[in-house]
Amino acid sequence: MPDTKKHEKYDMILDALQQLLTEKKIQNISVSEIAQKAGIGKGSIYYYFPSKDAILDALIERSYETPLHTAKNLAAQTDIAPFTRMAMLFQACRNSSTAFIKENNNSPDNASAQDLAFLHHKYLTHVISELKPALTEIIKQGIESGDIHFDSPAALAEIVLIVLAVKLDNSLLPSTPDEIEETVQGLIALLEKGTDIEQGTLSYLSLTPYE
């Protein structure tokens, strides 16, 4: 069965990159290094991937496969309150958010933090665009059920996603946990008042402390 076997190696390469990303920045990871970590020859990498960038793309996609899948399923769970689902959706994402993005790099790497820029960019693009339909659907149902009052569910979904994803990512505006909390609380307040949601409903959105 060439299909599963191909996926085996494919995943091994992604595993290798994922592991290396916990130690170094991508710019400092060479294709040879990935190959070495994966235990295969450098040439083989290019049998499975067209370019180095494509490996990263695939890794990001794989990382969010599960949370995005569950997020999309959430949209169908009409028995749960819309904003509870919304909170669950984000919690599902948070788990894998910084899995391979090491912000606090301990290595004395002289490279600037901007090196990771395109990784973050890809992450943000991926999460926001993939989650928007699901969140839009949830909000739509909230509007229909009378829990939320707002004219444009798509716009609201996008606003919420952009703010939360950007703050969650914490690369555009590096912030302390307190500052993140402040912005999130601000967003909650704005949402509750701006969409006539019962106060406190959105407290689920508050990011629980970690680490």
Partner DNA sequence: AACCATACTTGACCAACGGTCGAAAAATGT
Partner DNA sequence: ACATTTTTCGACCGTTGGTCAAGTATGGTT
Binding region for its own copies (CB under 8 A): 53, 57, 112, 114, 117-118, 120-122, 124-125, 128-129, 132, 150-152, 154-156, 158-159, 162-163, 166-167, 171-173, 182-183, 185-187, 189-191, 193-195
Tell me the torsion sign for CA atoms 165, 171, 172, 177: positive
Residue with smaller CB distance to its own copies, 3 or 151 = 151
11 class by beta-carbon count within 10 Å (0-12 exposed, 13-18 middle, 19+ buried): middle
3-state secondary structure 80-91: CCHHHHHHHHHH
Which of DNA, its own copies, none is residue 163 near (CB under 5 to 8 Å by kind)? Answer: its own copies
Q: Does 33 bind DNA (CB under 7 A)?
A: yes
Q: Does 118 bind DNA (CB under 7 A)?
A: no
Are the C-beta atoms of 101 and 116 separated by less than 8 Å? Answer: yes
Residue with smaller CB distance to its own copies, 37 or 168 = 168
Q: Does 22 bind DNA (CB under 7 A)?
A: no
Residue with smaller CB distance to DNA, 5 or 79 = 5
* Helix (H/G/I), strand (E/B), else coil: 167: helix
CA distances from 191 to 18, 148, 187 (A): 36, 10, 6
Residue with smaller CB distance to its own copies, 103 or 182 = 182
Residue with smaller CB distance to its own copies, 79 or 151 = 151
Neighbours of 4 (CB within 10 A): 7
Measure the CA dihedral 121/125/126/129, to 10°: 170
Q: Does 58 bind DNA (CB under 7 A)?
A: no
Which of its own copies, DNA, none is residue 124 near (CB under 5 to 8 Å by kind)? Answer: its own copies
